[in-house]
């Protein structure tokens, strides 16, 4: 979209009261043909076929560019999915705010550090704006962009994990990464133990030796985190999480059958069955699977529930999600490091928190204070 500086856009900049007319024109008239087929090479249709037609998932699109044109999540959005769209171009996010009101749309440049970086800027609504100087050779050779058409600006980058945490995006069905040569920096900022992503579509353009080396590093990171390549479509590579391999690596081989059932299949032990109910010594409580420290003994109390109970956990020990298995909403919590299920949080605990962490005893090991 090289020549996006239209007279209409210039007019809107001068008279901002007409900006909604421009947004409507851009999306529903100028880019009308993309309303039925948004992605460039059919990537979204390939992904969406892995899910039930009634399924309404979550996506994250980094380098989202346009709400319909060459967009890999628009079909998902029309099917009832919702997501987080991120782009460094302010005009892109304005268009998303107009057309994708159920999504969260964020104007940000994503990298592995928060710092001021050079932005090689072509146009305010252009897919080729980039943080990577090496990507300029691709722009010049393959898109016929001339040196004088590229200006340098400064932009403050953000880490992806900060944005995912802010909007509580931990379980993600599909992540699209298309940031014009900066993909390695984005991927390096993802903690794959914390953020569970089922599919990742990432642009990998091997236009020179340096780019090919970066692509190899991208593949190595994904393979290391148990992703397998499902399909290549154009410059886009679609990876799927190998859940069986990932779970096998996470599960401690020394766990009993009961521990595996509760930690990784959301089971529950019988009330009153844990020896930890009567444990009174000073010390700490750890995840039985990965050994992560979760509770201090001074937060343990007798709740009368039949399960070991605590009024507080250590900072960042757990992640939570809403559980409706019993027909009503409960707050389930699981080990942040390995994902093992531990129990539920109730609002009937003592001061100072008023909370009760109701923990399955077999999911914990106790280490007495030395």
Cα 232 from Cα 270, distance rounded (Å)? 49
Q: Is residue 60 within 8 Å of residue 176, measured between CB atoms?
A: yes
- What 8-state DSSP symbol labels residue 93? H
Tokens of 98: 């107009």
Nearest to 262 by CA among 299, 290, 292, 288: 288
Torsion angle defined by CA atoms of residues 100, 104, 107 and 110, in that order, rounded to the nearest 10 degrees: -120
> Phi first, then psi: what are they for 156, rounded to 5°?
-90, 125
Q: What's the CA gap between 48 and 55, in Å, rounded?
A: 9
Instruction: Please give the order of strands across the beta sheet that includes 293-296.
Output: 293-296, 283-287, 364-368
Does the active-site annotation cover 358?
yes
User: What residues contact 3, with CB distance under 8 A and at least 6 apart?
Assistant: 123
d(CA 177, CA 239): 12
Element (H, E) at 141: helix 135-142
The single residue of 64, 287, 335, 358 carrying the catalytic annotation is 358
Residues taking part in catalysis? 358
């Amino acid at each position: 979209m090289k020549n996006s500086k239209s007279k209409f856009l210039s007019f809107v900049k001068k008279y901002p009261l007409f900006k909604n007319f421009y947004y409507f024109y851009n999306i529903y008239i100028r880019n009308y043909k993309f309303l039925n087929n948004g992605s460039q090479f059919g990537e979204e249709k390939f992904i969406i076929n892995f899910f039930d037609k009634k399924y309404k998932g979550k996506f994250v699109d980094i380098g989202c560019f346009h709400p319909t044109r060459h967009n890999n999540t628009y079909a998902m959005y029309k099917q009832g999915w919702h997501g987080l769209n991120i782009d460094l171009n302010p005009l892109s996010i304005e268009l998303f705010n107009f057309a994708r009101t159920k999504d969260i749309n964020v104007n940000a440049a994503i990298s592995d550090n928060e710092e001021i970086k050079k932005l090689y800027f072509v146009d305010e609504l252009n897919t080729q704006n980039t943080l990577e100087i090496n990507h300029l050779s691709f722009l010049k050779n393959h898109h016929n962009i001339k040196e004088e058409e590229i200006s340098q600006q400064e932009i403050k980058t953000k880490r992806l994990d900060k944005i995912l945490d802010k909007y509580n995006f931990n379980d993600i069905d599909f992540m699209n990464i298309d940031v014009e040569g900066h993909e390695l920096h984005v991927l390096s900022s993802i903690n794959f133990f914390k953020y569970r992503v089922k599919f990742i579509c990432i642009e990998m353009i091997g236009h020179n030796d340096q780019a090919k080396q970066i692509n190899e590093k991208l593949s190595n990171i994904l393979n290391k985190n148990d992703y397998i390549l499902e399909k290549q479509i154009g410059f886009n590579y679609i990876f799927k999480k190998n859940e069986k391999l990932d779970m096998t690596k996470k599960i401690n081989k020394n766990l009993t059958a009961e521990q595996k059932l509760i930690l990784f299949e959301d089971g529950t032990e019988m009330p009153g069955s844990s020896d930890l109910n009567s444990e009174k010594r000073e010390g700490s409580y750890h995840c039985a699977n990965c050994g992560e420290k979760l509770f201090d003994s001074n937060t343990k109390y007798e709740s009368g529930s039949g399960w070991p109970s605590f009024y507080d956990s250590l900072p960042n020990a757990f992640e939570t999600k809403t559980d409706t298995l019993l027909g009503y909403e409960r707050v389930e919590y699981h080990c942040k490091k390995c994902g093992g299920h531990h129990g539920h949080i109730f609002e009937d605990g003592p001061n100072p928190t008023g909370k009760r962490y109701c923990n399955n005893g077999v999911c914990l090991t106790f280490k007495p204070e030395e």
